[in-house]
Amino acid sequence: MDKYIINGGKKLHGVVDVMAAKNAVLPIIACCIMIKDVVVLKGCERLTDVENMMRIIRNLGGRCDFDSNDLIIDCKKLSRHSVSHELTGALRSSVFILGPLLSRLHRAEISYPGGCDIGLRPIDLHLEGLKNLGVKLSEDEEKISCDGRNIHSGIISLAFPSVGATENLIMAATLASGRTVIRNAAAEPEIIDLQNFINAMGGNVHGAGSGVVIIDGVSSLHGGVYSPIRDRISAGTFLIGGAMCGGKVTVKGIRSDWLFSLTEKLRLAGAVVTEKLGEITVESDGALRILRKVETQPFPGFPTDLQAPITAMMSASKGRGYVIENLFENRFRHTRELKKMGADIIVCGRAATVRGAKLHGANVIAQDLRGGAALVLAGLKAEGKTEIIGLEHIDRGYYNFEEKITSLGGDIKRVKISCV
């Protein structure tokens, strides 16, 4: 087990080149299940979530390896339709294998997926959508079994624009004959990327990003080389860090229209944000005005995955503001840890009232991925020493986080926790 030791108070200066988005790579790896050929994904990092999805592919009989930053996936010989509980329990995105397995083998079996404990996270929308495509389901307390021998195209109206359900259903329909329409589909850039990947491999999907996705089934997909989009959440985390600590931070590889809900907020807080083709720069003296209200919404609204980092920023700004979390009902656990660092936050249901305060170092625990990143940012801003444990959560979505922060001038070390 490792911990971070952070000596706060340093300004951040420099450039971070963000790599492939975790939330784009995970469904694309799952999508490879239905491709009887080799796929190379460029620019990937060894995030724990990616490694866990690779283990699932191997468990099903496929091959999956890193060659530097290329992820090579070969599912020619994939033959199993069920994955062990241990593997699905480690990763919420394991649910993505349902659609591709049904497309390829017409059956699938998984136990209930795990992942960050940020809310109930049901998968009813995935399962209802599959039923619309003719999939027969049987569930018990431990597992879900899907019979897709009669899988067909269909019309699906999602009760909520779930990112994962939209992606799963796109994949389930990719090889089903006829036209499938998904209404009230999520519009996140990662869904457009999944569409682009499928089309690059011979599929016929359009409309992603508009709220209505149309899938015209094809008989097979072929292999190829693909570069998934870069990670807007990782980019946003570094931009928030630059704004709250002060200095000048540039993130490269990212489209500014994916992050305008954040950059607009950073400007309101008093930071200077400049956007060029493929890069965003934030400049700040670190003395920010608090944001009056941040409310998470599906894309293009403010992303729930940046709620914890922006809450950390607000807790060290001047004034009083509100954060409303509309997506996940248990996504304020970082506030308890931020309070140990001097933050003044009162949580009531889905709303947090934040009064700006001077943060100081403390010993804190990362309890989920983005909440963990928020604690790192708070530690970089705070006066004195902060120690953070629970790094396994942060490793799920940030690779070599400490090296990237060090390259910006932050004082952070990753050390082994000694057992006595």
d(CA 337, CA 177) in angstroms, rounded, equals 51
Residue 162 interacts with ligand UD1 (CB under 6 A): yes or no: yes
CA separation for the pair 365, 388 (Å, rounded): 5
Residues 125 to 154 in contact with ligand UD1, rule: CB under 6 A:
125-126
Candidates 98, 110, 123, 316; binder of ligand UD1 (CB under 6 A) is 123
124 binds ligand UD1 (CB under 6 A): yes
* Residue 29 sits in the site that holds ligand UD1 (CB under 6 A): no
Backbone φ, ψ for residue 282 (5° rounding) = -120, 135
301 binds ligand UD1 per the rule CB under 6 A: no
User: Is the N-terminal amide bond of 300 cis, ω within 30° of 0?
Assistant: yes
Can you tell me which of 65, 77, 119, 138 binds ligand UD1, judged by CB under 6 A?
119
Please give the Cα distance from 206 to 185 (Å, whole number): 12
Q: Among candidates 40, 38, 91, 28, which has minimal Cα distance to 62?
A: 38
Is residue 327 within the footprint of ligand UD1 (CB under 6 A)? yes
Under the binding rule (CB under 6 A), the answer on residue 23 touching ligand UD1 is yes
122 near ligand UD1 (CB under 6 A): yes
Please tell me which residue in 31, 32, 75, 116 is annotated as part of the active site: 116
Instruction: For ligand UD1, give the closer residue by CB, 119 or 278.
Output: 119
Per DSSP bridges, beta strands 320-324 and 293-295 are parallel
Task: Give the number of other CB atoms < 10 A from CB of residue 128.
Answer: 16
Buried b (16+ CB within 10 A) or exposed e, 220-247: ebebeebbbbbbbbbbbbbbbbbbbbbb
**How far, in Å, CA of 234 to CA of 374, rounded?**
12
Taking the least distance from each CB to ligand UD1, the nearer of 25 and 408 is 25
* Shortest CB 191 distance to ligand UD1, Å: 9
Active site residue 116: yes
Task: Mark the segment that binds ligand UD1 (CB under 6 A) among 116-124, 140-148, 234-242, 372-380.
Answer: 116-124
Which residue has its beta carbon closest to ligand UD1? 164
Q: Known catalytic residues? A: 116
What residue ranges bind ligand UD1 (CB under 6 A)? 23, 26, 92-93, 119-126, 160, 162-165, 186, 190, 304-305, 327-328
